[in-house]
Chain A
Amino acid sequence: MDAIINLANNSIEFFKTVVEFAPKFIPGVILTLQLAFFSIILGMIIGLVVAVLKLTKYKWLKKIMNVYITIVRGTPLLLQLYFIFYGLPSLGIMIDSFPSAVIALALHNGAYISEIFRGSIESIDYGQREAARSLGMTKWQAMKRVVLPQAFKRSVPALGNQFIIAVKDSSLASVITITETMLLARQFGAATFNVFPIYFTAGVYYLIITMGLTKILSIVEQKLKVNER
């Protein structure tokens, strides 16, 4: 009997803490959203440029792009964040914490997204390019008007995955003094010793963001499907 009363009391305490701290997370959640947003948008731009450059006939460009992808994919994101925020100043390059985080996350996502784009560009039937070129289109026109629209559609599911990873990876920005959701959780936890409900709240916020993102992506996917049988 006592055990049940105890559990009930603990639960009430738990949710009281959750309700108390939920609003205090808002500034951190906004930062998380900003980090995710900028790193996804910039990552997409970087990814597209790198993917297209890799498909040009210039071997040296391709090599440079491969070096970039190898370095980014082959080292931890944590190290990349440290390098830009703590490492670059020793070379005389000082960047504030928020731009540092956005740069590191965008470069990181860009490498993965470029491979997603390259894969989907290469999956488009070569006959499409031939048909476009035979109308007199330049290589670039054929890419822009015919190949990329189809490739983009094919890359949406994989992009969705990468976007969700980007949201969660933004938590690593806490190591370079950005008070996003996870750093706030750590601070609240240290201040109150009430760790469980506070990390629970942080987790719920991440879930809300990633579920919303998934929903948006499935709508985009449906919209792009119109021309299929």
Chain B
Amino acid sequence: MSMIEIKNLHKYFGELEVLRGIDLTVDESEVVCLIGSSGSGKSTLLRCINFLEEKNEGEITIDGQLVTAKDINEIRQKVGMVFQRFNLFPHMTVIQNVMEGPLTVKKMAKKKARSLAMALLEKVNLLDKADEYPAMLSGGQQQRVAIARSLAMEPKVILFDEPTSALDPELVGEVLGVMKDLAKEGRTMIIVTHEMGFAKEVADRVIFIHDGQIAEEGPPEAIFEHPENERLQNFLGQILV
């Protein structure tokens, strides 16, 4: 069953056409990695899916529901988002960050939200930091809290926007580790990443975006071992040296 269906998506920033007709279907439990050089439109595509950017043309269907500006708050509960710069709420403790969505949006009882948050923090291995403020945590820890925060809404899909790009190299592994666990659980994930090793290992499908269009897509072996598109060959040549 398809979880996300995108048809003919166009997005302009002023005169500039950033997305030039994207068609994409993501199945339930599928892990899709978006790769491409900066400015190719991969982050914009991700941000259009949960309306952080408003699309100009095209249709997005999530879990059988057509996304419109009107019911966007409802859709967003189904779509988790993890940001490059974590965007944790600095005035709340780690556990308050994780509880915030269930408490405010779902109106969950505090006790229930707390035990849910504890379970999620255990999952990302940060139970001991529950009462710290984000400023006391390393980047890798903050990103794991951000993942737990988005999981707390029990989303159907999680979007990752370059989740390890702002991290020190030695902290990348712990975040990718958590993401691998999520993939094994059968979560539907769309990941914009520059970590080709990770994409190779975890992705069911890799999509190469160039100039606002899907230039090539396929299973990781095909994309990384036998790239057909010349742009993709260049791109891989530049980063896999």
Contact = CB atoms under 8 A, between A and B. Distances in A.
Contact of B89 (A136, A146, A153): A146
* Most chain B CB atoms below 10 A, which of A125, A137, A150, A153: A137
B224 interface: no
A133 B89 CA distance: 12
A146 B89 CA distance: 7
A131 B89 contact: yes
Main secondary structure on A side of the interface with B = helix
Interface stretch (A26-34, A36-44, A194-202, A221-229): A221-229
Contacts of A226: 133
Contact of A141 (B81, B90, B105): B105
Interface in A110-134: 125, 127-128, 130-134
A219 to B, nearest CB: 18
Contact of B105 (A128, A136, A227): A136
Interface residues of B, number: 30
B200 interface: no
Interface in B116-131: none
A59 interface: no
B76 interface: yes
Contacts of A146: 89
B83 interface: yes
B104 A130 contact: no
A138 interface: yes
Contacts, number: 70
Contact of B90 (A130, A133, A145, A227): A227
B150 interface: yes
Nearest to A127: B87
B74 interface: yes
A135 interface: yes
B104 A153 contact: no
A131 B135 contact: no
Given A135-B105, A226-B133, A228-B135, A130 B83 contact: yes
Interface string A147-182: 001100100000000000000000000000000000
A18 to B, nearest CB: 47
Given A135-B153, A227-B133, A229-B135, A130 B87 contact: yes
Interface string B216-241: 00000000000000000000000000
A75 to B, nearest CB: 38
Interface of B: 50, 52, 73-74, 76-77, 79-81, 83, 85, 87-93, 100-101, 104-105, 133-136, 146, 149-150, 153
Interface of A: 125, 127-128, 130-138, 141, 145-146, 149-150, 153, 226-229
25 contacts: A125-B87, A127-B87, A130-B52, A130-B81, A130-B83, A131-B88, A131-B89, A133-B76, A134-B79, A134-B80, A134-B81, A135-B100, A135-B153, A136-B77, A137-B73, A137-B101, A145-B100, A145-B104, A146-B89, A150-B89, A150-B91, A227-B92, A227-B133, A228-B90, A229-B136
